[in-house]
Structure 1
Amino acid sequence: MSMGWNWFVAALAALNILGVAWLLWWTAKRRPGDPKPEETSHYWDENITEYNKPMPRWWINGFYIAIAFGIGYLVWYGGLGTIPGTSDWSSAREHALDKAAADARLEETFAPYRNASLPALAADETALQLGRSIFSNTCATCHGSSAQGAIGYPNLADDIWHWGGEPEQVLQTVLDGRDGIMPEWGTVLTGMGGEHAIDYVIAYVRTLARPGQSLGNDYMAARGKTLYDGVCVACHGVDGKGNQAMGAPDLTDAYWMYGSSKASLHETIANGRHGVMPAHRELLGETRARLVAAYVWSLSNPAGAGGSPATSAAAAEPAR
């Protein structure tokens, strides 16, 4: 805020205070020529009269005290733009002190889990509860309260990991985020295989989730394989298993983060996708990131979290 605006705010505040004080003074006493209190000409039921008397002195003095308090408050705490008060108090400093105190309490709570491995945290019920709480407050907005994701947001409750499901890979995802880009291939494929090229690729990609299926009688899938081998194989591999180092998904598992309909797959191939997992290192700090990563890792590793693999797997089975 510029100094000009500071003076404008100061002048506005002073004008309001002086205006209130003047109005109070002007209306607080009677003057020569004023009608008597009972001469208002307002009567009800013949004997009920409206009077016009000044407010009691104690009430008026209370208003003056309030005005003086307001002036003192502005002088002490500030309130005239960015001009500081004589106490040098600021809401930003107050917030910083409160945050530092809260951070100290959190640090004490999370200290026992500093630098612990994800499997060790996943086997600790208290640590797991803390991780679940952090997930609910931070991650559930995108991945859902049950961690089963939504269209465009990966399911964290299954065993499919685009960037790797090892403990350190999961932790890196939480700490530093991921940036997954599927390029636009519509123009390239159309130039290579004609106007139906994308449909050919979709036909072939769908066969990847059905091992052993012959392409001999499927003209579209056979044409799609030729196009796939020329464009898609660089990221998704010859066998369609993907590449976790670059976040290229496995196309053989029948899991489609953006939907499995023909329209959705057409949109993905023609116009690409750009999925971003934000980095949480600054927001959570490493210890809290470890706790939430341990909780997420435990969802697909129930044995490591002390649960029954069969039971936990059934509970975590995603809706495809």
Structure 2
Amino acid sequence: MADFFNEWWGFAIAAIVAFGILACALLLWSQSKVKVKIGTDGKPLPAETTGHVWDGDLMEQNNPLPKWWMWLFYLTIIYSIGYLIVYPGFGTRQGSFGWSQVGAYEKEMKDGEAQYGPIFNKYLAMDLKAVAKDAQAHEIGQRLFLNTCAQCHGSDAQGGKGYPNLADSDWLYGGDPQTIKTTITEGRHGQMPPMGAVVGSDDDVRNVANYVLSLSNSAHDPIKAALGKPKFAACAACHGIEGKGNQAIGAPNLSDKTWLYGGDINTVMETINKGRNNQMPAHKTILSEGKIHLLAAYVWSLSNSSNVQVSGADAAAVNQIATTASSTDVSASAK
């Protein structure tokens, strides 16, 4: 795409715009030369037809265009020339007002910061758990979540295959408010390398998968699980000898029944063979620190509704939302 943003492209756009305006003007001028023909008796002659006839006598006549209609088009041409003088649009010319979409966006953001900045700053000075209990902060946080996070985690924060559930108590990196804020701010990059070649043959991979399933007492083959236990040593460096995981590096706990991609034998084998590579983008370049603070408090409240009793305006409705979000099915979370 870089090839389209050079000096030549600006000249090409200017040429296309100029040609379009000139062509419209010439077309209108040529049509203005068509006059109504007058007979020797001083009366208009019957108009010529285009040759199209419908229903026997319904003809399309080739009358000259009305003057008022043509002048309207001339006015649009004059308006377009004035617009191109004032605003950008003629190649690389910036316009006499210096207006730009970037400038308009930056002004709008600046005006918004001046209007709403004090609200975010007020909550930024508060502890995250205290923010989570405020009804107005909870509502603002929910809207930030719907606009920024729901595309991946769902509007109910229940996640999906490959996207963690944020409404349960299972966390890859930790579920305390400050860790959640760090996750939103800096993002996370969770990577499990392909382990199939390290584990061994296809049978070894199947045995290890059965052993992994046995850790959470999920459906598995006990004999194959026993054979896979020694091979699990290759995985213990990250997940621990007991498969409890390691939040310091985002290694999932394999001993519960919470799975990010699924807990059936084929999915676990696929994970071992191919690995996984997930990334949550950093939001520090998208959201201000105040917005991240509110968003972190809201996310924390989803899995801590029993510890959060929202107070303030509309608190009853907000408490109902938080309770619903944390009490629904939580089978799709963090592994």
**TM-score (structure 1 length as normaliser):** 0.83
- Counterpart pick for 2:309 among 301, 306, 309: 306
Question: Alpha carbons of 1:221 and 1:58: their partners in 2 closer, same or farther (altered >3 Å)?
Answer: closer
Corresponding residue number in structure 1 for 2:237: 234
Question: Alpha carbons of 1:62 and 1:197: their partners in 2 closer, same or farther (altered >3 Å)?
Answer: closer
The aligned amino acid for 2:249 is: M
Give the distance between the partners of 1:109 and 1:204, measured in 2 at CA.
52
Corresponding residue number in structure 1 for 2:316: none
Corresponding residue number in structure 2 for 1:26: 30
Give the distance between the partners of 2:23 and 2:187, measured in 1 at CA.
57
Corresponding residue number in structure 1 for 2:147: 137
CA contact (8 A) 1:119 1:304 kept: no
- Counterpart pick for 1:286 among 284, 289, 293: 289
Give the distance between the partners of 1:297 and 1:39, measured in 2 at CA.
82
1:111 equivalent to 2:129? Answer no
Corresponding residue number in structure 1 for 2:184: 174
- Counterpart pick for 1:13 among 6, 10, 17: 17
Question: Alpha carbons of 1:4 and 1:252: their partners in 2 closer, same or farther (altered >3 Å)?
Answer: closer
The aligned amino acid for 1:19 is: A
CA contact (8 A) 1:237 1:243 kept: yes
Q: Tell me by how many angstroms 1:9 deviates.
A: 3.2
Question: Alpha carbons of 1:40 and 1:272: their partners in 2 closer, same or farther (altered >3 Å)?
Answer: same
Query: 5+ residue gaps in structure 1?
Result: 212-216
Corresponding residue pairs, total = 307
Match of 1:163, SS state, is: coil
Give the distance between the partners of 2:326 and 2:13, measured in 1 at CA.
64
CA contact (8 A) 1:151 1:259 kept: yes
Give the distance between the partners of 1:185 and 1:255, measured in 2 at CA.
21
Give the distance between the partners of 1:28 and 1:287, measured in 2 at CA.
63
Give the distance between the partners of 1:318 and 1:148, measured in 2 at CA.
7
CA contact (8 A) 2:304 2:326 kept: no
Q: Tell me by how many angstroms 1:50 deviates.
A: 8.7
> Percent of aligned positions with the same letter in both sequences?
40
The aligned amino acid for 1:40 is: A
Q: How does 1:1-320 map to 2 (within 5 A)?
A: 1-29=5-33, 36=39, 37-40=44-47, 54-55=64-65, 57-190=67-200, 194-210=201-217, 218-228=222-232, 230-306=233-309, 315-319=327-331
**TM-score (structure 2 length as normaliser):** 0.80
Q: Tell me by how many angstroms 1:287 deviates.
A: 1.4
The aligned amino acid for 1:234 is: A
Match of 1:131, SS state, is: helix
Q: Tell me by how many angstroms 1:98 deviates.
A: 2.1
Q: Tell me by how many angstroms 1:53 deviates.
A: 6.0
Q: Tell me by how many angstroms 1:314 deviates.
A: 7.1
Q: CA RMSD in A?
A: 3.2
Match of 2:245, SS state, is: coil
Query: 5+ residue gaps in structure 2?
Result: 311-318
